[in-house]
Chains A and B, each alone.
Chain A
Amino acid sequence: MTDFFRRYSRDKVGVFFGALLLLLYGVALTAQWITPADPMAVNLREVFSPPSATHWLGTDQFGRDILSRVILATQVTVKVTSAACLFAVLTGVPIGMFVGYRGGWIESVTMRATDMLLIFPIIMLAIVVVVISGPTETGVIVALGLAQAPQFVRITRGVTLSIKEELYVEAAIAAGSGWLHILARHIWPNISTPIIVQATLTLPVFVLNASALSYLGLGVQPPTPEWGQMLNEAKDHLINAPYLIVGPAAALVIFVLSANLVGDAVQETLNPKLKKRK
């Protein structure tokens, strides 16, 4: 673990964007206390006020402070995407490990099912789930998680297939280990790295999809702010109040960019086969 951080710290880009990502998570965790104004407070005397000393990013059509709303939206996004990512990992990885190790018809059926799910664009799947479950926070989490879970099933199955051919797995069977023991003690420790990398690399996809859903009105419902939904409102006032778009757009870009670059850096750190480009 310390070795991981030592090697990671050599990657300057990774360190910078890692710090940025941590900052965003810090903002998300402390959102309640650091918002300069109440993000929900309507003030009809201050609608569409441009950025100023009191409202750094201006106010929207209800006079709500944009900066405060962006901060609260960060919390919502981080919560939803982290939970969805966890959901995808916790469903996809065990299924992938089980079918990969077990093989046979269970594997064929599962893999064809994931193939079918992978045919649909992720956002389509998510829309279907949200339509069924309703546009609640939990609904969005389940939708995004389920939409990404097939990816994790596939990747996990792939690495499980290669590890289960290792002689030490056969040696463990020959020593009398049961399948659960083999999955937990022999397969998982040897496949965790690519899965951690995959989870980090998919995080920005979750963020984009969460924003896309809420842009379409299928995400977290107003008045709770979310970046996509704020962007959707901002586009209606693009001519008279163009500054509305700056806050949520910048937050989204920074989050996705940081998460992507951190994912790359983690992959380079954990995967000895990737040659250092520098």
Chain B
Amino acid sequence: MAAAEPLIEVKGLKVHFHTEDGVALAVDGVDFSIAPERTLGVVGESGCGKSVTARAIMGLIEPPGRIEQGEILLHGPDGIVDIAGLDPRGAEIRDIRGTEIAMIFQEPMTSLNPVFKIGDQIVEAILLHENLSRSQARERAIDLLAAVGIPMPRQRFDHFPHQLSGGMRQRAMIAMAMSCNPRLLIADEPTTALDVTIQAQVLDLMNALRRDFNTAILFITHDLGVIAGMADDVVVMYLGKIVESAPVREIFRHPKHPYTQGLMGSIPSLTDWGARRLTAIEGVVPSPFAHAQGCGFAPRCPHAMEVCRRRSPDLLKVGPGHTAACFLHQAAP
């Protein structure tokens, strides 16, 4: 785990959405940190606050959402900046976006502007942050297109997004994100919209880029298989909270939290096919508007105890670098 100084630390982050139906606790007290050049995988079902956490780090929380509490500390050469405290429209956060932290999105189909050539979009991203001439930026963009494995980058430079396939577009997005050498890349389900073969290529590409660019990655997905191949450390989120956090090997070998175990149980295995049926986690994720007492997973948990419905468990150490928020692994209070 992170022995050296972390690149980014998220401490007690709470993001609430104040809507007419009530307050949604999208992110409800989340702590994690990412060391330089490491990959942190964030797993969880839809609506558990993964994407909101990512957007909070980018300063992209829009009303009615609001960062209620917590710090997002970005450790830079010039000291530590608390992103949570910056004006989301201000100049400081704009200087961080793209240069320090870049982001790629789930939908490669819609995250490129349809009316501009992809090359020009990458050039724009470069010119936003660097003092280069247009032709220098163009050369850099072509190099980037080549680096992300787009064949014939010089020709592709002049193509419009609709002329590219989904995988190519995601590569172009990655090229754009890497254009200013960010220290942290946030990937919000970057492969969810792609075919499985393309997924594998894009994941290989991201792994290669991580080495070449020395970038840390915050990788958000609901696909545990992808996490196994990408992440160094894993954080499992449920209902706006972290329920388990561990190095990737540890979590796959010894999942402690019943929710993580449930997720593992719902992956088909290649070796024992036919031998067992896939198990599904009963029920659905409760509404984030319902602020029930106790552990958020208790209504769906096969091991739920009486204490689970009264109190919410804290994230405590259950192994080397391994924490879980579950009373099963804690001395009864």
The answer to whether B107 touches A167, judged by C-beta atoms less than 8 angstroms apart, is yes
- Does B86 belong to the interface (CB within 8 Å)? no
Q: Residue among A170, A171, A174 with the most chain B CB within 10 A? A: A174
Question: Given A170-B60, A176-B129, does the pair A185, B111 have CB atoms closer than 8 Å?
Answer: no
- Does A175 belong to the interface (CB within 8 Å)? yes
Give chain B nearest CB distance to A222 CB in angstroms.
49
The answer to whether B115 touches A177, judged by C-beta atoms less than 8 angstroms apart, is no
The answer to whether A176 touches B111, judged by C-beta atoms less than 8 angstroms apart, is no
Cα distance A190–B89 in the bound complex, in angstroms: 22
Give chain B nearest CB distance to A7 CB in angstroms.
18
Which residues 180-216 of A have a CB within 8 angstroms of B?
181, 185-186, 189-190
- Does A168 belong to the interface (CB within 8 Å)? yes
Which residues from chain B contact A185 at a C-beta distance below 8 Å? 113, 116, 124
Which residues from chain A contact B113 at a C-beta distance below 8 Å? 168, 172, 185-186, 189-190
Closest chain B residue, CB of each to CB of A103: B63
Which residues from chain B contact A174 at a C-beta distance below 8 Å? 58, 60, 97-98, 102-103
Which residues from chain A contact B238 at a C-beta distance below 8 Å? none
The answer to whether B128 touches A177, judged by C-beta atoms less than 8 angstroms apart, is yes
Which residues 88-138 of B have a CB within 8 angstroms of A?
89, 94-99, 102-103, 105, 107, 110-116, 124-125, 128-129
Give chain A nearest CB distance to B5 CB in angstroms.
24
The answer to whether A166 touches B103, judged by C-beta atoms less than 8 angstroms apart, is no
Give chain B nearest CB distance to A101 CB in angstroms.
11
The answer to whether B89 touches A179, judged by C-beta atoms less than 8 angstroms apart, is yes
Cα distance A104–B63 in the bound complex, in angstroms: 9
Which residues from chain A contact B107 at a C-beta distance below 8 Å? 167
Which residues from chain B contact A170 at a C-beta distance below 8 Å? 60, 105, 111
- Does B35 belong to the interface (CB within 8 Å)? no
Which residues from chain A contact B89 at a C-beta distance below 8 Å? 179
The answer to whether A173 touches B60, judged by C-beta atoms less than 8 angstroms apart, is yes
Give the interface residue-count category, chain A.
Answer: 20 to 34
Cα distance A189–B95 in the bound complex, in angstroms: 25
Contact of A167 among B58, B99, B105 (CB under 8 A): B105
Give chain B nearest CB distance to A170 CB in angstroms.
7
Which residues 21-71 of B have a CB within 8 angstroms of A?
58, 60, 63
Which residues 155-174 of A have a CB within 8 angstroms of B?
166-168, 170-174
Give chain A nearest CB distance to B124 CB in angstroms.
7
Give chain B nearest CB distance to A168 CB in angstroms.
4
Give chain B nearest CB distance to A52 CB in angstroms.
57
The answer to whether A168 touches B129, judged by C-beta atoms less than 8 angstroms apart, is no
- Does A178 belong to the interface (CB within 8 Å)? yes
The answer to whether B115 touches A190, judged by C-beta atoms less than 8 angstroms apart, is yes
Cα distance A175–B129 in the bound complex, in angstroms: 9
Question: Given A167-B105, A167-B107, does the pair A175, B112 have CB atoms closer than 8 Å?
Answer: no
Give chain A nearest CB distance to B268 CB in angstroms.
31
Closest chain B residue, CB of each to CB of A190: B115
- Does B230 belong to the interface (CB within 8 Å)? no
Which residues from chain A contact B74 at a C-beta distance below 8 Å? none
Which residues from chain B contact A176 at a C-beta distance below 8 Å? 94-99, 125, 128-129
Cα distance A186–B116 in the bound complex, in angstroms: 9
Cα distance A168–B60 in the bound complex, in angstroms: 13
- Does B173 belong to the interface (CB within 8 Å)? yes
Cα distance A215–B128 in the bound complex, in angstroms: 54
Which residues from chain A contact B94 at a C-beta distance below 8 Å? 176-178
- Does B216 belong to the interface (CB within 8 Å)? no
- Does B227 belong to the interface (CB within 8 Å)? no
Cα distance A174–B96 in the bound complex, in angstroms: 9
The answer to whether B110 touches A167, judged by C-beta atoms less than 8 angstroms apart, is yes
Give chain B nearest CB distance to A165 CB in angstroms.
10
Which residues from chain B contact A173 at a C-beta distance below 8 Å? 58, 60, 97
- Does B176 belong to the interface (CB within 8 Å)? yes
Give chain B nearest CB distance to A55 CB in angstroms.
54
Cα distance A185–B128 in the bound complex, in angstroms: 12
Which residues from chain B contact A168 at a C-beta distance below 8 Å? 110-114
Q: Residue among B105, B111, B116, B129 with the most chain A CB within 10 A? A: B111
Closest chain B residue, CB of each to CB of A177: B128
The answer to whether A167 touches B111, judged by C-beta atoms less than 8 angstroms apart, is yes
Cα distance A175–B180 in the bound complex, in angstroms: 9
Closest chain A residue, CB of each to CB of B89: A179
6 contacts between A and B (CB under 8 A): A167-B107, A171-B112, A175-B176, A179-B89, A189-B113, A190-B114
The 6 closest A-B pairs by CB, nearest first: A176-B98, A176-B97, A174-B103, A175-B98, A167-B111, A167-B110
Interface residues of A (CB under 8 A from B): 103-104, 166-168, 170-179, 181, 185-186, 189-190
